[in-house]
Amino acid sequence: MAEFVRVETKDGIGTIRLDRPPMNALNTQVQEELRAAASAVTADTEVRAVVVYGGEKVFAAGADIKEMADMSYVDMAARARELSSAFDAIARIPKPVVAAVTGYALGGGCELALACDWRVVADDAKLGQPEIKLGIIPGAGGTQRLARLVGPARAKDLVMSGRMVDAEEALRIGLADRVVPSAEVYEAAITLVRQYTNGPSQALRAAKLAIDGGLDMDLASGLAWESQLFAALFATEDKAEGMSAFVEKRKPNFLGK
Residues 54 and 121 in one domain: yes
Burial 23-35 (b: 16+ CB within 10 A, else e): bbbbbeebbbbbb
Among 131, 141, 155, 189, the one annotated catalytic: 131
Same domain, 156 and 95: yes
Domain total of the chain: 2
Of 154, 179, 194, which marks where a domain is finished? 194
Q: Are residues 230 and 129 in the same domain?
A: no
Residues 6+ apart with CB under 8 A from 190: 13, 51
Same domain, 145 and 168: yes
Residues 186 and 205 in one domain: no
Given 40, 60, 61, 111, which residue is catalytic? 111
Same domain, 125 and 236: no
| CATH code, 61 | 3.90.226.10
Which entry of 37, 40, 49, 63 is annotated as an active-site residue?
Answer: 63
Instruction: Point out the catalytic residue in the list 108, 139, 141, 242.
Output: 108
Provide the residue range defining the domain that includes 95: 5-194
* CB 256, CB 200: distance < 8 Å: yes
Is 237 a residue of the active site? Answer: no
Q: Identify whether 8 is a catalytic site residue.
A: no
Per-residue pLDDT of the chain (257 residues; tens, 9 = 90+): 789 999 999 999 999 999 999 999 999 999 999 999 999 999 999 999 999 999 999 999 988 888 888 889 998 988 888 989 999 999 999 999 999 999 999 999 999 999 999 999 999 999 999 999 999 999 999 999 999 999 999 999 999 999 999 999 999 999 999 999 999 999 999 999 999 999 999 999 999 999 999 998 999 999 999 999 999 999 999 999 999 999 999 999 999 89
Q: Which pTM was predicted?
A: 0.94
Q: Is residue 60 part of a domain?
A: yes
Catalytic residue check, 111: yes
User: Is 32 known to be catalytic?
Assistant: no
